A = this chain, B = another copy of it.
């Protein structure tokens, strides 16, 4: 059970010098005799000494760790964002501890607690679809731990946020469908709890209005992002007396699921019904027909969020600004429209 661990004391004793000198040599402090330094470094190497970050963190009151809370890891989106974030963090010598809330509010709360007890120096979070209470996240603010939201942001907290231009993305893709001659455009929307759902819905609505296309309530279906349910909604839409000639889905997985169902029904895409998604998932280029979608700069989102976080950590709490960085969403037209 007891683990071997070389400490500074060990090499201090072996070299018959003081611990502080060893410490200084190890941390690259200037005031150390070149020979002493060399001896220390060599012995440290030989003894496989590794600095104990736990101890360093304790005395420095800084863990060099950033927490990231994401709702899921199933789609390409969040893993990609995390990669971006990790890259930036690593460059600055920060570790990242990731936890996925699994779209559960309670798990999110638990994860936040873990981050707290682990004394992360900052957190990046993207909310659960269930989250409506934010006490567990406000604690970070209160404790002076910087927090940055990305993608699924919290409206009632005044902190930095990184989002894609959901409204524009939705607006453009719907207008594109209209230009393709589509008039009855359905929208499989996300849960109302998420701001991104509402933004995309608004983009959809405004595109219709601007082009004098009537908004038909029965063609707008908010759903909880549970892929299994897509079948129900798509069937409902297709069996309508006056079915839609296009479908704009809240995200790519939903759209791809819809494509499968539509194809199984024997309908042609895009002739009978066009389909559009959101995010430009890896698979959306592979599916047949290719999915028209809006690309989100996933890596970039992660990078930007982490950069904002790191910047906050260098500043006084009083200087923190609740800026929202909106990254561009780009229309990608493929065979499904």
Binds B, one of A56-64, A199-207, A239-247: A56-64
Contacts of A100 in B (CB 8 A): 83, 86
State whether A99 and B118 are in contact (beta carbons under 8 Å apart), knowing that A48-B139, A50-B113, A79-B73 are contacts in the complex.
no
Q: Is residue A134 contacting chain B, with contact meaning CB distance below 8 A? A: no
How many of chain A's residues have a CB under 8 angstroms from any CB in B?
51
Within 8 A of B (CB), among A104-161: 113-114, 116-119, 139, 142-145
The oligomer's copy count stands at: 2
Which residues on B sit within 8 Å (CB–CB) of A51? 117
Cβ proximity bits A92-108 to B, threshold 8 Å, 1 near / 0 not: 00011111100000000
Q: Does A54 lie within 8 Å of B57, measured CB to CB?
A: yes
Q: How far is the CA of A196 from the CA of B65 in the complex (A)?
A: 34
Say yes or no: is A5 at the interface (Cβ < 8 Å to chain B): yes
Complex Cα spacing A278 to B100, Å: 27
A82 contacts chain B at the CB level, 8 A cutoff: yes
Nearest opposing residue in chain B for A145, CB measure: B3
Docked pose: A135 CA to B145 CA in angstroms: 38
Give A24-61 interface residues, CB cut-off 8 Å to B. Answer: 48, 50-55, 57-58, 61
Given contact pairs A97-B97, A282-B283, a sample of 17 additional A-B residue pairs in the complex whose CB atoms are under 8 Å apart: A3-B61, A5-B143, A51-B117, A52-B117, A54-B58, A54-B118, A55-B58, A58-B58, A74-B282, A83-B100, A86-B100, A256-B286, A259-B286, A283-B283, A286-B286, A286-B287, A288-B288
10 A-B pairs with CB atoms under 8 Å apart are A2-B61, A3-B143, A48-B142, A65-B97, A74-B79, A90-B99, A95-B97, A259-B286, A286-B287, A287-B288
Query: Ordered nearest first, which 4 A-B pairs have the shortest CB separation?
Result: A288-B288, A283-B283, A286-B287, A50-B116
